[in-house]
């Protein structure tokens, strides 16, 4: 059975998507998923070695390239967006996926740890969205999807900096939804729960098992689960979804 009448079987056919943090984990899964649905993908990452390798790995699946970016550097972000527009003529989708951790309890967290996380997780999202907004406004369309976290909504032990940064992403999402919505730009966020990325895979098995017990469905998310949420919000199927934070967390906070 085909999807709803009038919706292409390839949900992102010829859409141009920029995915920050696309060299690993959820970002890489999203690059793969978007290519499967017909998008032209730019993997944007600080990790040049992995970024280039990932683009080569996916080259048979569609049109993809890697562009180096430091999301904390405004000039680097502008170069990313300019190169993308020069090649493709437009940017339809921005996935603000790049993010870092520097966990410690409050009394053990340094100012440097706090600042580093905010530079990437907050300033990076600000820089990328500000840089892409003029292109999307000129087009009269666009999808901006920010990555927050259940930690940003409910807090988490040992994550003062991370939880605060992800809460800030929710606030920016809701503000930009008000500012950019009248220009035909949908702005939403995804709040993943615990996901089987490279970082989680290095955790002791007993810790992972303890986390699983907190999740009603008794399993961690796969990166593709989060990528599918990005895909839905980036597609025309979500054209009337705006100013929303979509939790993809297995019901961990129930």
Q: What is the pLDDT of residues 190-234, one digit of tens each?
A: 999 988 887 677 767 887 788 888 889 888 899 999 999 999 999
Residue 2 clears pLDDT 90, i.e. is over it: no
Angle between helices 124-139 and 74-88 (to 10 degrees): 30
Q: What is the arrangement of strands in the sheet containing 142-147, beginning at the earlier edge strand?
A: 64-68, 40-45, 16-20, 93-96, 142-147, 185-192, 245-248
Residue 29 clears pLDDT 80, i.e. is over it: yes
**Which of 222, 247, 199 has its CA nearest to residue 103?**
199
Q: Domains in the chain, ordered, with CATH?
A: 16-245 (3.40.50.720)
pLDDT at residue 219, as a whole number: 87
Taking the whole predicted model, whether its pTM rises above 0.75 is answered as yes
162 given a catalytic annotation: yes
pLDDT at residue 1, as a whole number: 40
Three-state DSSP class for 209?
helix
pLDDT at residue 196, as a whole number: 84
How many percent of the chain have pLDDT more than 70?
Answer: 95
Confidence of residue 6 (pLDDT cuts 50, 70, 90): very low
Region 168-182: mean pLDDT is 98
Region 235-246: mean pLDDT is 98
Region 152-159: mean pLDDT is 91
| Cα angle 133, 167, 187; round to 5 | 30
Confidence of residue 32 (pLDDT cuts 50, 70, 90): very high
Which of 68, 154, 162, 230 is labelled catalytic?
Answer: 162
Confidence of residue 17 (pLDDT cuts 50, 70, 90): very high
pLDDT in tens, 106-128: 999 999 999 999 999 999 999 99
pLDDT at residue 7, as a whole number: 47
């Amino acid at each position: 059975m085909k999807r709803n009448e009038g919706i292409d079987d390839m949900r992102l056919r010829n859409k141009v998507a920029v995915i920050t943090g696309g060299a690993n984990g959820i970002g890489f899964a999203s690059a793969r998923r978007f290519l499967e649905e017909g998008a032209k993908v730019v993997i944007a990452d600080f990790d040049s070695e992995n970024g280039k390798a990932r683009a080569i790995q996916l080259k048979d699946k569609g049109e993809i390239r890697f562009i180096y970016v430091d999301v904390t550097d405004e000039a680097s972000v502008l170069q990313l967006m300019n190169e993308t527009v020069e090649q493709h003529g437009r940017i339809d989708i921005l996935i603000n996926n790049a993010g870092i951790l520097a966990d410690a309890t409050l009394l053990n967290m340094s100012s440097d740890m706090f600042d580093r996380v905010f530079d990437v997780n907050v300033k990076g999202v600000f820089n990328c969205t500000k840089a892409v907004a003029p292109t999307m406004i000129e087009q009269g369309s666009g999808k901006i999807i920010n990555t927050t976290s259940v930690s940003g909504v409910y807090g988490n032990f040992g994550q003062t900096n991370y939880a605060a940064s992800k809460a800030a992403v929710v606030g920016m999402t809701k503000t930009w939804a008000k500012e950019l919505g009248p220009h035909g730009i949908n702005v939403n966020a995804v709040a993943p729960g615990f996901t089987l990325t490279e970082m989680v895979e290095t955790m002791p098995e007993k810790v992972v098992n303890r986390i699983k017990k907190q999740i009603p469905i008794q399993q961690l998310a796969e990166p593709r689960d989060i990528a599918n949420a990005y895909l839905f919000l980036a597609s025309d199927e979500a054209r009337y979804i705006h100013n929303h934070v979509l939790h993809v967390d297995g019901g961990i906070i129930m």
